[in-house]
Amino acid sequence: MGLALVHSRARAGVRAPAVRVEVYLGGGLPSMSIVGLPEAAVREAKDRVRAAIQCAQFEFPARRITVNLAPADLPKDGGRFDLPIALGILAASGQVPGEALRDVEFLGELGLTGELRPVDGVLPAALAAAAEGRRLVVPTANGPEAALPRDGQASTARTLLEVCAALDGRRTLPDAEAPAPCAAHLPDLADVRGQLQARRALEIAAAGGHHLLLVGPPGCGKTLLASRLPGLLPALGEAEALEAATIASISGRGLDPARWRARPYRAPHHTASAVALAGGGSQPRPGEISLAHNGVLFLDELPEWSRQALEVLREPLESGVVTISRAARQCEFPARFQLIAAMNPCPCGWAGDPSGRCRCSPDLIQRYHARISGPLMDRIDLHVDVPRLPPAELRPDAPAGEPSAAVRARVVAARALQQVRSGCCNAHLDQAATMAHCRLAPADQALLERAIDGLQLSARAMHRILRVARTIADLAGSEAIATAHLTEALGYRRLDRQQPLAA
């Protein structure tokens, strides 16, 4: 009777908990059972493993085989355990040395020929294996992703036979290699003509990490402006980039290892459901707000989104995380994104346009705005008008706007001030930090209080105005918030100056 132990990793949200694959060969009629809360794809591994072992010219034991995936209360899914199960059977039957499995972790799905096929969620497994000080062996196609952790050790293999030869000492598996980073070609802000106020608001949003709402008629450049925001933001740090890449790795949509340092930019269609935004499913997967973590989430045609979908944004906009609860399990995904939204001023899109073409009644306009709840609007820091441009400003020979590189330099300088002062961007300051770093002179404090009373704003809105004013002061290189900075911040609460939205 033989017993073997192989190390592997499961997938549970953004975590990769350790799994001990225990294989026991006992007496009795030949059979194979897999226990430890396996799902359908894991239970089917016994047929894939049997064929792969035989095609690799090994002997499949004619014994009673019991495979235990521990811990038993952790759900196991996918084909990621095929390789460790096969190696456990070979080690328990004495066909490969069991001692060679001690400090190595294995992931990979087996084809019937013994070929190793890629699996999802390799990056969190690579990070966890590096933290444990173990080497990770993955299919060749997963090699670039497994090589991303700087302090990790990962090897790649194409077939089960290659892995077994390496365990016998007859060959060495190649190390996983990270691909050369691919330079991102981001759209330039110079392509945007005119729209000085909207460009200024975009710069403030980038400098402080603030949420932004663009309001204007069709074709005025709202989407064009939103797509330029990633080019204004500072480069991601390694830890931030790994967080975003981990979410992409477990999403099932694939991670491009060459672009893992690029900030995410997500622009889902307005017909997307609440589950598509927040994430979910029987096996919880991240949604759009998590895929935009440390990046930008652009929601166009904001009033056209379903009320249910928009309301799932409330808690993540404040906390930076989203929790998906199901009957069998609960997963928490990071969701610290920067929201850029766009909407028309009315159903026809032309309210306030000098042409006078709008025929929408005030009641109709109010109902249109009421599709966005007051609490959600309260969480958006900047509301900006984007008017229709005169044709003269759209000529090919019209002067181009300031390029992204120049604006980005000011944004980076402002973010550096914020990191030294509070360790985060202004939009992420908590209440205590806001009170400490956003102090006003007595006259400015009185001005703010009058504005809060006149607009009937909440305490949350007041704190957000203070943070925006702090960002404007940082862009100006000012240590204190001046009157001009505060009045500009107040001017960006456009929709608060209109009729109140539905609560």
Q: Is residue 389 over pLDDT 90?
A: no
pLDDT for 1? 52
Phi first, then psi: give them for residue 178, nearest 5 degrees. Answer: -75, 140
Note the pLDDT of residue 197: 92
- In sequence order, the β-bridge partners of residue 12 are 15
- Cβ contact 340:298 at 8 Å: yes
> Please, what are the domains in the chain?
2-167 (3.30.230.10), 189-497 (3.40.50.300)
Tell which residue, 101, 118, 98, 112, has the closest CA to residue 8: 101
Position 216 pLDDT exceeds 60 = yes
Q: Quote the CA–CA distance of 188 and 214 in Å, as a whole number.
A: 18
Question: DSSP letter at 498?
Answer: S
Determine the average pLDDT of the residues in 209-235: 93
Q: Does the pLDDT value for residue 338 go beyond 70?
A: yes
Q: What's the average model confidence in pLDDT over 321-335?
A: 85
Give residue 496's pLDDT: 64
- Mean pLDDT, rounded, of the chain: 91
Distance CA 424, CA 415 (A): 8
Q: Tell me the average pLDDT across 325-331.
A: 77
Q: Residue 79 has what DSSP assignment?
A: S
Averaged pLDDT, 36-47: 94
**Nearby residues of 426 by Cβ (< 8 Å), 6 or more positions away:** 208, 209, 210, 418, 467, 468, 470, 471, 474
**pLDDT at res. 330:** 82
| Position 372 confidence tier, pLDDT thresholds 50, 70, 90 | very high
DSSP letters spanning 262-331: SPPEE---TT--HHHHHEETTTTEE-HHHHTTTSEEEESSGGGS-HHHHHTTHHHHHHSEEEEE-SS-EE
* Structure-block tokens of residue 306: 């379903």
pLDDT tens, position by position, 108-119: 999 999 999 999
Residue 365, pLDDT score: 92
The answer to whether the CB of 388 falls within 8 A of the CB of 216 is yes
What are the helix (H) ranges across 183-269? 196-208, 222-227, 238-250
User: What's the pLDDT at 300?
Assistant: 95
pLDDT over 70 at 500, yes or no: no
Q: What is the pLDDT of residue 355?
A: 83
Q: What is the pLDDT of residue 174?
A: 95
Q: Are strands 109-110 and 104-106 parallel, antiparallel or unpaired?
A: unpaired
Rg (CA), the chain: 28
The two structure tokens encoding residue 453: 């009373």
Residue range 255-296, pLDDT digits in tens: 888 889 899 999 999 999 999 999 987 778 899 999 999 999
- CA 448 to CA 443: how far, in whole Å? 9
| pLDDT tens track for 397-451 | 777 788 999 999 999 999 999 999 999 999 999 999 999 999 999 999 999 999 9
**Highest mean pLDDT: which range of 176-185, 341-350, 493-502:** 341-350
% of the chain with per-residue pLDDT over 70: 97
| Tokens of residue 5, six digits | 């132990």
pLDDT above 50: residue 479: yes
Span 155-204, pLDDT tens digits:
999 999 999 999 999 999 999 998 887 777 888 998 888 888 999 999 99
Give the number of other Cβ atoms within 10 Å of residue 442's Cβ. 7
From residue 102, give the alpha-carbon distance in Å to each of 7, 8, 82. 8, 11, 18
**pLDDT for 501 beyond 50:** no
Entry pTM: 0.90
Chain centre to alpha carbon of residue 98: 39
Of all helices (H) and strands (E), which one includes residue 333?
strand 330-334
Residue with tokens 């225990």: 22
Q: Is residue 503 very low, low, confident or very high in pLDDT (cuts 50, 70, 90)?
A: very low
User: What tens digit of pLDDT does each residue of 6-39 get?
Assistant: 999 999 889 999 999 999 999 889 999 999 999 9
454-472 tens-digit pLDDT: 888 889 999 999 999 999 9
Given this model, what pLDDT does residue 191 score?
A: 87
What's the CA gap between 118 and 259, in Å, rounded? Answer: 19
In terms of pLDDT, which residue wins out, 390 or 89? 89
Cβ atoms 374, 496 nearer than 8 A: no
User: How far apart are alpha carbons 340 and 151 in whole angstroms?
Assistant: 36
Predicted pLDDT of residue 417: 95
What is the reported pLDDT for 329? 76
Contact by Cβ (8 Å): 69, 46? no
